[in-house]
Amino acid sequence: MSAWHEPDRTGVEDFLKVSQFRQRSCVTYRTILRSFEDVARRHPTVDRQMLEAWLGEMTTRWKLPTLLNQVCIVDRFLDHLVEMELIPNNPVADLRRQHNVKQNKPIWRALASSSPDEALAALHQPAPFGSVLGGFMRDHVALMRNRGYQYEAQAYWLLRFDRFLQAHPELAGEPLETMLKHWAATKPTRNHAAECQKLGRILTKARHRLDPNIQPKRFNPRPEREVARLHRRPHIFSSADIQHMLDVARCYPSPHAPLRPQTLYTMILLAYCAGLRRSELAWLDLGDVDLRSGTITVRETKFYKTRILPLSDSIMVELRAYLDARRRAGAPQDPQSGLFWQDHFKGRYAPVVVTTMITNVMRRAGFKPPSGRKGPRVHDLRHSMVVNRILQWYRAGINPQGRLHFLSTYLGHRDINSTLVYITVTQDLLQEASERFRVVGAPCLNGEALS
């Protein structure tokens, strides 16, 4: 009996054709999917038992880490079978929802283990907002998002607190202050203490909104100040550093993706010269580049802002060169296609891949160690753009205070206070500011002395 009715066995080839993988990748993917199909045809349905049987056979041929790196293609194939109505559902997705797991790979690892039941039980996460305060916190998150806030970090804090309350049902009848006190005691770190202070402020304000008789409680601001004091200072790249990074990007080794060096070069150019965030780079469309007016449009990003950014003539020359290379590489010319295009998967780089690629350039350029999180971040290119722009204004005799609101708009900030966070006082910037003060203030001091 077959797991899905398909007498001509064209499902694998149809999937590979629709997905438009590279030829070399299709060879490996076809081998994996054919083995999966052979096992599936010996089972009445595609279910957990069938997946375990296939994994058992494959582990005799492949090492487990290698196999787990390849199961993503089976995930996509299962979704394809569901879409074509050849199977009713994806069993991996069902297990993920059952155990509240965000990714598929832990499910595959559990199924490939010697004790799948125990491994799946260890993966199980409590249901979101299932605690005694779950409904109250869920409604608060929904309210804030309906008001236009993204509320991602705050929702994450509330979910963590919710999981803690589910794990400690004895706190169900205690006051909120007692719950927060026990939550703060779970970790001795400054970051956790600061998070607890913010969480307490959020919840007491939410309670006050529902019942004005409950007064918001004042919390100790010291933990948050200590965290802010210890926060890692951004790395400010000089113009020479940026040029070195661009040179490394142009020579980036990529024999199987010839467009990638030009892509990296253009990404770094826009991240620094236009101050774009990684997500803004990833979601740029081809139609967002206007070569006539020399602008790019950044749509619906942080704070739901859309902005049109003018670029210098030299940057537009590089953008034209990239667009020509992109067209020669066979990229689609549809205005809705990704500006930074790749020839597989979804056709554009995800934000996390953008971070990985630019970070690899930083490592090759010697700004970061070969591994680890130490050293500059991709977001430091945006910090460097702000500091170097203010430095150029000083050297041109322009008062930066009169231009900060323009810079804030260009960066897509909510207000000028967000821009001030990006101003890192470097030695060059301090020297230029001191010189400006000397030119303006010295005559005044001399005049007072003479009078």
Clarify whether 217 is annotated catalytic. Answer: no
- Contact status, residue 245 vs residue 367, Cβ threshold 8 Å: yes
Separation between Cα atoms, residue 153 and residue 137, nearest integer Å: 14
- The one-letter amino acid code at 8 reads D
Number of separate helices (H) and strands (E) present in the chain:
21, 3
> Is there a contact between 255 and 232 (Cβ–Cβ < 8 Å)?
no
**How big is the CA angle at 120 (ends 54 and 73), to the nearest 5 degrees?**
40
Number of neighbouring beta carbons within 10 Å of residue 359: 17
CB 349 within 8 A of CB 357: yes
Contacts of 381 (CB under 8 A, 6+ apart): 237, 242, 268, 271, 272, 275, 358
- 137, 158 Cβ separation under 8 angstroms: yes
CA distances from 250 to 213, 266, 352, 353, 442 (A): 63, 9, 21, 18, 48
Tell me the torsion sign for CA atoms 76, 81, 84, 88.
Answer: negative
The torsion angle over the Cα atoms of residues 42, 47, 52 and 53, rounded to 10 degrees, is: 0
CB 311 within 8 A of CB 275: no
Q: Please state, in angstroms and rounded to a whole number, the distance separating the CA atoms of residues 430 and 436.
A: 10
Selecting among 181, 302, 363, 364, the annotated active-site residue is: 302
> Is 277 assigned a catalytic role?
yes
Active-site amino acid positions: 277, 302
